[in-house]
Amino acid sequence: MAPFDLAKCARPNILKLQPYRCARDDYKDDGTNVLLDANENAYGPGLALNPEGALQESTVTGSSTGSSKPEIDFLGLNRYPDPHQVELKKLFCQLRNTHTHTQKDLGPENLFVGVGSDEAIDALLRCFCVPGKDKILTCPPTYGMYGVSAQVNDIEIVKVPLDVDNGFQLQPEKINEALAADSSIKMAYICSPGNPTANLIKKSDIQKVLEHPTWNGVVVVDEAYIDFAPEGSSLAEWVTEWPNLVVMQTLSKAFGLAGIRLGVAFTSPPIATLLNSLKAPYNISSPTSAIATAALSPTNMTVMKKYREQIIVQRDRLVQELPKIPGVGRFLGGQEANFLLVEMLDKPASEGGKPSNKTALAAYEAMAEKRGVVVRFRGKELGCEGCLRITVGTEQEVTKFLQELRVVLDGILKGADIQSLRE
């Protein structure tokens, strides 16, 4: 027997990792469930598709000049994809050059294109943090991959919580105190709109961190849900004004393209050069690039915006209808994403109900196990006691969700056996 001992051979920080889990790991999906757990676009890809589900040829452009070409050259898949993706980067620049925050223009030299935002999160850590020495700062409750990537890279995390008593807003003064006190903090990750909080972080608060008088580090703003926020909210073009600002975005959410795994990081040319230098040489596949290029064409942008408006209508409907269900409490955070964070109570609000993890977890389990509606339990995160995070679905999905939640909460508040609610 070889003297191999995994516990002594693998890196200790990796041994402590747990595989990423989502709500769907707990419940089998037979294709009939209403999936309101992962903040996907329930209306589908923001693409003009024919009845067979293929891209309409007229909606696809092969370059920023609009020249038409086939969606994917399958005969060319024996060749490595374009390692630089300049034409795709030009389309992202056209999308975000709104001149809302500056009169300067983004160019391809300002972009890193990755396999989802997660590649950018990890690449930034590898760029700026020495394992076992440097640190990052996060503001919980927030996106979990910042912590996972930090652990993989053996990077310590300094946490400065959001202000849970003030709508989960940033606390820039406390962040700046932490940065001043510890020069080993190399990056501050800020999620806006937040996940799971759905609120937009104030530009003025981000600016206070950027203006830190002594800290030598990078501010990373994660804008995965920015297209559900009011027009002009994105700070992407602002990277032309701040040499240490990175703004991450994705096509997974508003564009409904989670399956192609395409994310971008807007930043200063020197930082973009670092990110592009350390990435795998052909990290974006040809099919992914072709679909992303199609998604950013005028015709398909119209489709995306139509779906986005439908999501916002259903989001507003949830805001109106959920409080009418006994056992539902307050909305926490904001309403600038395609999901809502809402409290479940131990008794109706009219009777003085308090946020309850027991109620929220029971509702989550009962809904998913037997009623075919999967949401996300978030009660263990800071300031989120008793909370479910609910992705905004289609009109039919929202109707089913509201109906099933009413039945389940009615049973819970009446003391019904939890098992009976699952049947």
Answer yes or no: is pLDDT of 286 > 80.
yes
Question: Is 215 within a domain?
Answer: yes
Does 234 lie in the same domain as 135? yes
The pTM (predicted TM-score) of the whole model is 0.87
Integer Cα distance of 351 and 420 in angstroms? 25
Does 234 lie in the same domain as 317? no
Answer yes or no: is pLDDT of 87 > 50.
yes
Question: Is 51 within a domain?
Answer: no
Answer yes or no: is pLDDT of 18 > 80.
no
The domain boundary, picked from 296, 317, 333, lies at 296
The domain boundary, picked from 296, 323, 351, lies at 296
The domain boundary, picked from 248, 272, 296, lies at 296
Summarize the confidence of residues 197-209 as an average pLDDT: 97
Question: Is 311 within a domain?
Answer: yes
Does 202 lie in the same domain as 93? yes
Does 257 lie in the same domain as 329? no
If phi > 0 it is left, if psi is from -120 to 50 it is alpha, else beta; for residue 281 that is: alpha
Question: Is 129 within a domain?
Answer: yes
Task: Give me the pLDDT at residue 200, please.
Answer: 97
Averaged confidence pLDDT in the chain: 88
Total domain count for the chain? 2
Answer yes or no: is pLDDT of 278 > 90.
no
Answer yes or no: is pLDDT of 179 > 90.
yes
Residue 276 belongs to a domain with what CATH number?
A: 3.40.640.10
Residue 353 belongs to a domain with what CATH number?
A: 3.90.1150.10
If phi > 0 it is left, if psi is from -120 to 50 it is alpha, else beta; for residue 398 that is: alpha
Task: Give me the pLDDT at residue 80, please.
Answer: 87
Does 182 lie in the same domain as 79? yes
Q: Are 39 and 375 in contact (CB under 8 A)?
A: no
Question: Is 56 within a domain?
Answer: no
Summarize the confidence of residues 293-307 as an average pLDDT: 95
Question: Is 340 within a domain?
Answer: yes
Question: Is 317 within a domain?
Answer: yes
Does 154 lie in the same domain as 76? yes
* 330: amino acid identity, one letter: R
Question: Tens digits of per-residue pLDDT, 352-387?
Answer: 999 999 999 999 999 998 889 999 999 999 999 999
Does 266 lie in the same domain as 133? yes
Does 178 lie in the same domain as 121? yes
Does 287 lie in the same domain as 212? yes
Does 233 lie in the same domain as 110? yes
Residue 287's domain spans which residues? 61-296
Does 35 lie in the same domain as 89? no
Q: Are 127 and 140 in contact (CB under 8 A)?
A: no
Question: Is 1 within a domain?
Answer: no
Task: Give me the pLDDT at residue 48, please.
Answer: 75
Question: Tens digits of per-residue pLDDT, 55-84?
Answer: 665 554 444 344 444 455 666 788 888 889
Question: Tens digits of per-residue pLDDT, 48-63?
Answer: 766 655 666 555 444 4
Task: Give me the pLDDT at residue 11, please.
Answer: 62
Helix residue ranges, H only, 182-297 = 203-210, 269-278, 286-295
Does 70 lie in the same domain as 219? yes
Summarize the confidence of residues 272-288 as an average pLDDT: 90
